[in-house]
Each structure stands twice: as structure tokens, then as C-alpha cells.
Amino acid sequence: MNIITLGNELLRQKAAPIENLKNDLSQWNKIVQEMYEALKTGKGIGLAGPQIGLMQRIFVVHIDRDEPRAFINPSIIETSQETAKYEEGCLSVPGIWADVIRPKSIKVQAWNEKGRAFTLEAEGLLARVILHEYDHLEGVLFIDRLPEAKKKKVLEKIARLSEKTAKIKRIEA
């Protein structure tokens, strides 16, 4: 699985719900396992379908000291009013890190790769990663959550990094 990066229009599109999950469980289980592998290879802690060109409402997360988790057709049903700032990065926006304000805790409903519905209350890093990946399903990137002035600086840095990468590729060719 290749992780697509900023500039690919798929990252800005809303993902579609997965229909007939129970009829295609073995297929979705295989996709989830491949997503876990891509997550591990990319050294990330979350990966959503749109990041691999799969425009379906699915993401996986795996943070330290927690089990890997798959979320299929997730719904955020509750968020805390209390928020926290934390530095985020993204496999689809490589080399960029910025402080993002998000709710401290959430409640999410979803299905796992075995077709079982679950409700999860999460806080801290797990809540943040779930919200970050859920944003991908909505066509939203973490940089969209930044104040306008900070977002402008980040986009300028991305442009500089892209120019540098293009220059290196020309030299190598």
C-alpha cells in the first residue's frame, strides 16, 4: 500500500460508507491487516482509507501500550468541551508538525474488522488519533485545523520542501 500525500485530490474528498460489511468480512479483514502493515512501515500511529486511495470510511490506529484498533463506518457521538493542544504530524503531510487543539475525550461508535459493533470512550492521545483519522474520512487534514496565519506558514514550508525534493530528483536523474 502506498500512502498518498498532500496535493492528491483524494485527501480532500469525503469517504463513502462501507456497505454490506458482513458479506465481505474476509476482504475487509485483509485490508485492515494491510493497513496495519502500512502504518508500521510508515512509522505512524493512524492511517485512514483515503490516505491509501481507498475512499471508504475505515481507519486503523495503533498507539504505544494499546492494541491495534480498526474503525469501520465510525461515528463520533460525543466530544468533551475540554480541549488540549498537542503537536500532530501526518503520514500524508510528511515532515510537517504543528500544534492542533482538539477535544480531550470522545465517544465513538464503529465496527471492527470482524463485523462487530462497538462503542469506545477514549481520551488523550487515543482520542486525538481517532479524531485525526476521522477528519481524513471527511476530507480534512490536520493543517486545516490551524489558525489561518499558522496554516499559511505551514503551506509555505510544504512548498519549500516540495521544491527541494523536486530539485533532488532532478539531480539524481
Q: Give residue 16's domain range.
A: 9-146
Q: Which residues are catalytic?
A: 133
In this model, does residue 63 exceed pLDDT 70?
yes
Section 102-106 average pLDDT: 98
Contacts of 124 (CB under 8 A, 6+ apart): 104, 105
Question: Does 160 reside within a domain?
Answer: no
Strands of 65-142, DSSP E: 69-79, 83-90, 93-103, 105-111, 117-123
Whether residue 162 is contained in a domain is answered as: no
- Residue in the block written with cell 502504518: 39
Tell me the C-alpha distance between 154 and 160, whole Å: 10
Query: Is 173 part of a structural domain of the chain?
Result: no
Find out whether 134 and 122 touch, Cβ atoms under 8 Å: no
pTM for the whole thing? 0.92
- Please indicate, yes or no, if residue 163 is contained in any of the structural domains: no
pLDDT given for residue 167 in this prediction: 66
Specify the number of domains making up the chain. Answer: 1
CATH number at residue 31: 3.90.45.10
